[in-house]
Amino acid sequence: MTQEFTPKTADSQSSLTPDFLARALEACTDGLFLFDSDKRLIFANQQAESLQANVSRLRIGSRCCEMFWNSEGGENCVVDRASQNGLKLEFEIPGSKPLSIQVQPIQVSEDSNKLGVLVSAHDISALRRAEGEALAHKSFMANLADRSPDEIYALDKLGRITWVNQRAETGNPLMLLGQRLVDFIAIDSRDVVSAGISKAVAGEETQTEILAVRPDETERDVEAYISPLWKDGEVDGVLVFLRDITERKRTQELVSQSDKLRAVGELAAGVAHNLNNSLTVIKGRAQLLQMKSTDEGWLKSLQVINEAVEDGGKTLRRILEFARRDSGQGFGPIELDDLIRSSIEIARPKWQRKAGQSPIEVKIECNGPVYVKGDQAELREVVLNLIFNAVDAMPEGGLMEVGMRGEIDSGCFWVADSGCGMPPETVARIFEPFFTTKGSKGTGLGLSASHGIISRHGGEIFAVSEPGEGTRFEVRLPICDTLSRIIKNEEKVGV
């Protein structure tokens, strides 16, 4: 398609021969189309020809619109526009092989105002492909960052947030940008985080456990990994990865609580077992002496020994019961509604006695029937322990709420009081054996025994309390599957 090209200006320059110019245009990597002042094609190089897939009907004498727009001109004719107003135009022709087109008006000769037009077409498919790949890569990275189990914060060197991933829990991401990350960290942990950021700016990494603050101002345990953000071999900012470990810590505490209880239980069981053996011997000998003796004084003393041994045996049985960690087999379906109501009846004298001075109002909320797997006597002991503690916490009277409800796979009951409440350091120790704040009036065994019973039942017991705001104990137990199913079916058929 190459045509003879005779530039009029070339004559005056000895080395710039038309032949040389034509070869130079031919060697150009862009497709070149030259239009005369009649807007007819007078030259196109090889490159232009290879772009023919996009540019149809390429032939000398064609008008631009016929090639680029497949039309007979009009408003869209870029060559028309360029030659009329003398302005350079740029546009893109999309397609499988996208082209960047530049339309450049050129004065036909020195002594003429007529404008020809040079159209150069540059194949930008590689550029678009690279852009597409960069975009795909970017969206892959964004996806990766958002799906990360960690919250990720990018900071500038002053510790201000410049980017967060979707997991960031500290609040609305838009609100976070520009703010200092340390402002979302609990006061006690701020120094550690600031030091970590400074280290990261100096190129070092830090891993630590800290307390962060949720948007609702509650605190959470997080594992923080603070590292430098590199750019061209220099630290350009800081990356902070936060992983919420509140639940993990809670579980660890529960496990260590259970371990402690188990250890104490085993120790107690061992001691009780040995003492029991000694008591059996003492009891046997005392009874033997009772049979042989006729002396009133001796007999009375032996009777006292016998009774003391009997009492000691009872205490030991209680300790053994407390330490018992087996069972689970033989648990029957327990109707929670009934358990709660009957326990309240048994405990009633405990607060009715106090009614004269300071009334305790009791509210019962039973949404039954719900069946859990368990041992009636043991579970009653738990309910009674909780009720007794609630009454103890309200010497000036108050409100006690006892209730139950069914959940998808558990039955839940609670005892709440409006009493003195507990500070966090007490809450942390309530399930420890022998922990009591009631002096000689308390044994510190009620809640540890209750914890043991509920654990044996495969359930969970926890307390929510604030000093002066009362306390709420909640217990969750595995639901008794079979019975619940039967009941649901009965409900369906309207029994």
- In the complex, the residues that contact Mg ion under the rule CB under 5 A are 389, 446
Question: Is-contact 392 400, C-beta < 8 A?
Answer: no
Using the CB atoms, write b or e for 339-363: b if 16+ within 10 Å. Answer: bbeebbeebeeebeebeeeeebebe
Give me the 446-475 binding string for ligand ADP, x by CB under 6 A, dash otherwise.
xxx----------------------x----
CA distance 481 to 478: 8
Span interacting with ligand ADP, options 79-87, 134-142, 180-188, 430-438, rule CB under 6 A: 430-438
Nearest CB to ligand ADP, comparing residues 357 and 440: 440
> H-helix or E-strand containing 475?
strand 471-478
CB of 261 to ligand ADP, least distance (A): 12
Per the DSSP assignment, residues forming a β-bridge with 332 are 374
Q: Choose, by CB under 6 A, the member of 29, 437, 482, 489 that binds ligand ADP.
A: 437
Does residue 118 touch ligand ADP according to CB under 6 A?
Answer: no
- Phi, psi (5° rounding) for residue 228? -70, 150
Is residue 397 within the footprint of ligand ADP (CB under 6 A)? no
In whole angstroms, the minimum distance from the beta carbon of 262 to ligand ADP comes to 17
Amino acid, res. 450: S
Among 51, 124, 279, 390, binds ligand ADP (CB under 6 A): 390
Of the candidates 248, 438, 467, 468, which one interacts with ligand ADP according to CB under 6 A? 438
446 vs 459 by CB, closer to Mg ion: 446
Q: Which of 23, 10, 43, 22 is nearest to 120 (CA)?
A: 43
Shortest CB 446 distance to Mg ion, Å:
3
Q: How far apart are CA 31 and CA 49, in angstroms?
A: 7
423 binds ligand ADP (CB under 6 A): no
**Among 208-216, 339-347, 400-408, 432-440, the segment contacting ligand ADP (CB under 6 A):** 432-440
Token output for 61: 């004498």
Q: How far is the CB of 470 from ligand ADP (least distance, A)?
A: 7
- The full DSSP string for 427-444 is HTTTTSTT--SSGGG--S
226 binds ligand ADP, rule: CB under 6 A: no
DSSP state of 30: S
Residue 436, interface with ligand ADP (CB under 6 A)?
A: yes
* Nearer of residues 390 and 479 to ligand ADP, judged by Cβ: 390
C-alpha distances in angstroms, 37 versus 18, 40, 55, 327? 19, 7, 21, 103
Q: Does 419 contact ligand ADP by CB under 6 A?
A: yes
Which is nearer to Mg ion, 120 or 450 (by Cβ)? Answer: 450
Query: What residues contact 24, with CB distance under 8 A and at least 6 apart?
Result: none
Q: CA distances (Å), 466 to each of 130, 253, 345, 446, in order?
A: 60, 20, 28, 20
Query: What does DSSP say about strands 398-406 and 360-366: parallel, antiparallel, or unpaired?
Result: parallel
Query: Which residue's CB is nearer to ligand ADP, number 55 or number 422?
Result: 422
The answer to whether residue 444 forms part of the interface with ligand ADP (CB under 6 A) is yes
Residue nearest to Mg ion (CB): 446
* Shortest Å, Cβ 385 to Mg ion: 5
- Closest to ligand ADP by CB, 223 vs 401, is 401
- 3-state secondary structure labels for all residues of 54-93: CCCCCCCCCEHHHHHCCCCCCCCCHHHHHHHHCCCEEEEE
Maximum distance among all Cα pairs of the chain, rounded to whole angstroms? 154
Q: Give the SS3 label for residue 166.
A: coil
Name the segment binding ligand ADP (CB under 6 A); options: 111-119, 294-302, 364-372, 429-437.
429-437
The stretch near ligand ADP (CB under 6 A) out of 79-87, 111-119, 312-320, 422-430 is 422-430
* Closer residue to ligand ADP, CB minimum distance, 52 or 436: 436
257 versus 448: smaller Cβ distance to ligand ADP: 448
**Residue at token pair 């033989």:** 330
Relative to beta strand 332-335, strand 234-244 is unpaired
Contacts with ligand ADP, residue ranges (CB under 6 A): 385, 389-390, 393, 417, 419-420, 422, 426, 430, 435-438, 442-448, 471
